[in-house]
Structure 1
Amino acid sequence: MKNLKKILGIGVLAVASYFVIAADHIDAPAVQGGTSDITDFYAFQGESTSNLVFVANVQGLLSPENTITAAFDESVMVEFNIDNTGDNVEDLVIQAIAKNGRMYVIGPKKPGSTGVMSVLNANGAKDAVSVDITPYGMDAITATKGGISVFAGPRDDPFFMDFAQYSAIIGGNASSFNNPGSDTFAGSNVLSIVVEVPKSMIGGSGTINTWVESKRKQ
């Protein structure tokens, strides 16, 4: 599988309250508008303090009309990477791939290989947590297996950004953001994959590095 996009350098404290985010809207021409385009990555402590939650959003800037027909690309795997030893190399991965209206989530497991090439876990079908992909406008459908909970489906884009004002600042035509600003992404949607995992499955000494990739089947 070929790496299409990577968000790196997100340190996560796994034993205390935290919320981290990486976002990338609009400015990735190689994948912009494609089914592998990652818009956001979130990692945070779950409602249960014994759990971590990982969220990857793809296919951003979907209008309500386009959201109705939007679908996860079955040839694209979303892979959450977890480094629990501090060497910036993934020790564990969580793999998510859609098939026939369901999302299959495998892991966290030791990767078959590290870096930009990945192999879908050989026992994926047996080990996976699978969930029906929630249709647009419907209440969230979730599934839990072995302590891991999963959701997949369209959601309102949660990221706030005044992109026009940002562009004005970068262009030297403004010196600061407005208060209140204008949310560029208001009314647009994303396709979201949410995985909640017990911290005991992550391991490590308390601090992890985590990032997410989308990889297309070759």
Structure 2
Amino acid sequence: MKKTKFLITTAILGIATFVAIAADHIDAPAVDGGGTSSLSDITDFYAFQGASGNTIAFAANVQGFLSPGSTGSATFDENIMIEINIDTDGNAIEDLVIQAIPRDGKMYFFGPFPANSTNLSSTIGTTAANQGSVDITAYGQNAIVETVGGISYFAGPRDDPFFFDFGQFGAILGGTASGFNNPGTDSFAGTNVLSVVVEVPKSMIGGSGSVNTWVETKRKQ
């Protein structure tokens, strides 16, 4: 794959030690809830320790509010790169990145590798030592997972895992409610997202696994 410049369209921040969650459905300034901009919409970002204790999993979800009827035809946009940024020294500047780019039914991964840029544009890390790919799992099929060099990869549709009560949130903003109900109503129940998941040995990202991490989507220019 040739080196191509990508420019940022939307971003979301999370802080990861053992478990971190950040979510933002159609709230970024460049996302209007429809058209091509919604294809780059980041809905959730999760970072958590793997079952063995020696890895960290990063899970980035895009294209929220997919109904079961439309999920089968939903696809990752080949002009959009998902870039996971990892800050290992606490200065809120990425030291390592992991890039995910879809092509012809596969998701290609590059990294983690040292960030070649800390501004709004990025170049595909085609010379990165860590590279892998996985077939994108089709809707309704068993998850396809590939492991290369100790790094595991997945890409495909999943049930939206984020729980949020939009109705109650609106009531709080409108002054007709003072707080959320327990458990409230899951506004995302029955909807899907497209997910990219990378599980990386801690030894590849600083050893302790205590990092700051955030995800960006960047459109090809």
The TM-score normalised by the length of structure 1 is 0.93
1:211 and 1:191 mapped to 2: Cα distance?
17
Unaligned runs of 5+ in 2: 1-5
Runs of at least 4 residues off by over 4 Å: none
Q: What is the aligned length?
A: 212
Task: Answer whether contact 2:21 2:46 (CA < 8 A) is retained.
Answer: yes
Matched, 1:51 2:33: no
1:212 and 1:70 mapped to 2: Cα distance?
21
Given the alignment, which residue of 2, 5, 8 partners 2:7?
2
Alpha-carbon distance, 1:123 to partner: 2.3
1:186 and 1:96 mapped to 2: Cα distance?
27
Q: How does 1:86-101 map to 2 (within 5 A)?
A: 86-101=90-105
* Alpha-carbon spacing, 1:205–1:115, altered in 2? closer, same or farther (3 Å): farther
Alpha-carbon distance, 1:205 to partner: 6.0
Offset from partner CA, 1:64-103 (integer Å, 9 cap, x none): 1110100000110000000101111110000000000000
Alpha-carbon distance, 1:122 to partner: 2.8
Q: C-alpha root-mean-square deviation of aligned residues, in Å? A: 1.5
Unaligned runs of 5+ in 1: none
Offset from partner CA, 1:119-159 (integer Å, 9 cap, x none): 001326x8521100000000100000000000000000000
Q: What is the aligned partner in structure 1 of residue 166 from structure 2?
A: 163
Task: Answer whether contact 2:40 2:217 (CA < 8 A) is retained.
Answer: yes
The TM-score normalised by the length of structure 2 is 0.92
Task: Answer whether contact 2:23 2:45 (CA < 8 A) is retained.
Answer: yes
Equivalent position SS for 1:215: strand
* Alpha-carbon spacing, 1:205–1:135, altered in 2? closer, same or farther (3 Å): closer
Matched, 1:135 2:138: yes
2:164 and 2:76 mapped to 1: Cα distance?
25
Q: Percent identity?
A: 61
* Alpha-carbon spacing, 1:152–1:213, altered in 2? closer, same or farther (3 Å): same
Alpha-carbon distance, 1:11 to partner: 2.4
Alpha-carbon distance, 1:206 to partner: 5.4
1:73 and 1:136 mapped to 2: Cα distance?
16
Q: What is the aligned partner in structure 2 of residue 123 from structure 1?
A: 127
Q: What is the aligned partner in structure 2 of residue 19 from structure 1?
A: 19
Q: How does 1:64-79 map to 2 (within 5 A)?
A: 64-79=68-83
1:114 and 1:177 mapped to 2: Cα distance?
38
Tell me whether 59-68 or 199-208 shows the greater mean CA deviation. 199-208
Equivalent position SS for 2:123: coil
Tell me whether 113-122 or 79-88 shows the greater mean CA deviation. 113-122
2:180 and 2:45 mapped to 1: Cα distance?
23
- Equivalent AA in structure 1 for residue 84 of structure 2: F
1:179 and 1:112 mapped to 2: Cα distance?
45
- Equivalent AA in structure 1 for residue 25 of structure 2: H
- Equivalent AA in structure 2 for residue 23 of structure 1: A
Task: Answer whether contact 2:112 2:130 (CA < 8 A) is retained.
Answer: no
Q: What is the aligned partner in structure 1 of residue 3 from structure 2?
A: none
Task: Answer whether contact 2:130 2:149 (CA < 8 A) is retained.
Answer: no
Equivalent position SS for 1:35: helix
